[in-house]
Structures are given as structure tokens and as C-alpha cells.
Structure 1
């Protein structure tokens, strides 16, 4: 179901709202809904796991249209790390993707970076960069801060 721009804007009050809309659109293969979250900028870009950098709204739409020909994507964002500063938000996301294999449904991991900008129309995505994870579970390497605040 395609939402009118005014209704969609109400759902984009924060980067978290945009992210939720993005993953729900992937889960339901809703191309128009997915495209509504992108900023109207020439330099928006998307990298699918193992794919090239796709730049511009028309190219991003075409890339997702091809992906959605296989149906919805059973993806769940997990272990999100957020960095917000001013009108920019960067979310590092471990995505759990359910894939149908010879042994039934299995989980695969994708490591994604989502970048959002606050525009005159609310928060919008400007970059989704996804890379394939390795193994069945992703372990994070995290350095604890050395300075106490």
C-alpha cells in the first residue's frame, strides 16, 4: 500500500522512524514505501551485499525493483549502534536475514550502515551500505572506552 507523502512524513519524525519504515518496506516488498524514505538528493546511494554502488533515486529504485522480483526480504535489524550529531544520524546495523536453503530456513548476517539527514521534509535516508557477514553469527569487536566521563 502506497501512503500519501503527508501521511508518510508523520512517520519520519526521527532516524529511528525512517529505519523502521525501511525494514518494514523490505519485509513486505513495498517499493513505493521504500522509496518514500529516501532524500531527494542526487548523491543518495545504496550498496547491496556484494554489489556495486548505486547512485541516484532512479538507480536505487531499479535496484530494489530487481531485488523485490524475488519477493519480500525476511530481514530483521539487530544490534544497532547509533551516532547522532546535529542533522545527521549514522546507524550501524547487524541485519539477520532468513534464507530458504536445502536444509530449510536458516539465518544469515549482513552488516549495514544507514545514514540519515534531517531535511525540510523530515528525516530521510541518504545511504544504505550492506556487506555480507561471515559465519552463522556475527561477533563484534568492541573496545571499551579508556576515559570515564
Structure 2
């Protein structure tokens, strides 16, 4: 197996782990998946990791969050206020250049109240369609998230579709 192909597989695995950690509400795993100042030789003795600006995140509808403190705090809030979330990733594309990898994908998200019991309909769960770009950096500990940017996909209304259709 070639090194570039192996890198793509490792980045895919890191990307999958990111979404799995969110689904499971595993804050410790999620934190470990993000790049830390020590991963990029920032001396935490002299630089506050929250201010180092090492990582960034944009959740749909949110401003840019920079630094581990802000980014991880946002995920803690999301996990604390989301009873259930599941991601079905589609249109996933991985590109690796040197020690940097770019993953683009569509997040088909189910979220809402408590997880449905086996055999139950999805009921109150809301579906969202979001496109995401995840940037990873190679570290001694493996591929780590450097940046996550997600944006909602706005679907046209049926009225707009009817207006565009020829009569």
C-alpha cells in the first residue's frame, strides 16, 4: 500500500472518529482529536493555549471560534444541550498534501430529543443538511483537526421550484 493511500485512510479514520465522538457525547475523545499547541511546538509555558489560535471552528450560524478554549467550550455546550445527534456523511472527499489534509463532506444530521428506541419511528428528530470542511495536520500522535467549518445548505421552497418550472 502506498504512503499517500495510507494517509488518506488515516485521515478518513480521524474524520470518522470526530463525528463518532460527537454522536457519543465523548468530550475527552473529541478534545484529543483536536490539534493542541504542543502538537505544533507552541510552548504552553509562555503562551496560553486558548490564545495561541492554533485551532478554529465555525458552527452553522456561529461566528469564528479561535483557540482550544473557545472551540472545546462550544462542543461542551453542544453536547450538554443535545439529547441525540447522528451524522450520515455523504460526498466525502479527502485530499492530502504533505502534513496537511482537507476533508469536505455533507453532514446529513438527525438531532433532537432523546434517541429513538429500537423499532420506533424517528419522531421529533430534525434533519439538517450541512456542508463541512475539516482541515487536519499530521502530528507525532496522528492526524489532528486544525479547523472545522460547517455551513447549512439552504433548500429552495416548493413555491420557488414551481415558479422556475415552465408552464
TM over 0.5: yes
Normalized against structure 2, the TM-score is what?
0.67
Cα distance in structure 1, aligned partners of 2:107 and 2:101: 18
* Corresponding position: 1:87 with 2:99: yes
Aligned to 1:62: 73
Match of 1:40 among 36, 40, 45: 36
Q: How many residues align?
A: 123
Normalized against structure 1, the TM-score is what?
0.75
Which structure carries more helix by proportion?
Answer: 2
Any idea what SS the aligned residue of 1:23 has?
Answer: helix
Cα distance in structure 2, aligned partners of 1:59 and 1:106: 26
Any idea what SS the aligned residue of 2:85 has?
Answer: coil
Q: CA deviation at 1:106?
A: 4.1
Which structure carries more strand by proportion?
Answer: 1
Q: Which runs of 5+ in 2 are unaligned?
A: 1-8, 38-51, 114-122, 157-167
Q: CA deviation at 1:73?
A: 2.2
Aligned to 1:135: 155
Aligned to 2:87: 75
Any idea what SS the aligned residue of 2:151 has?
Answer: strand
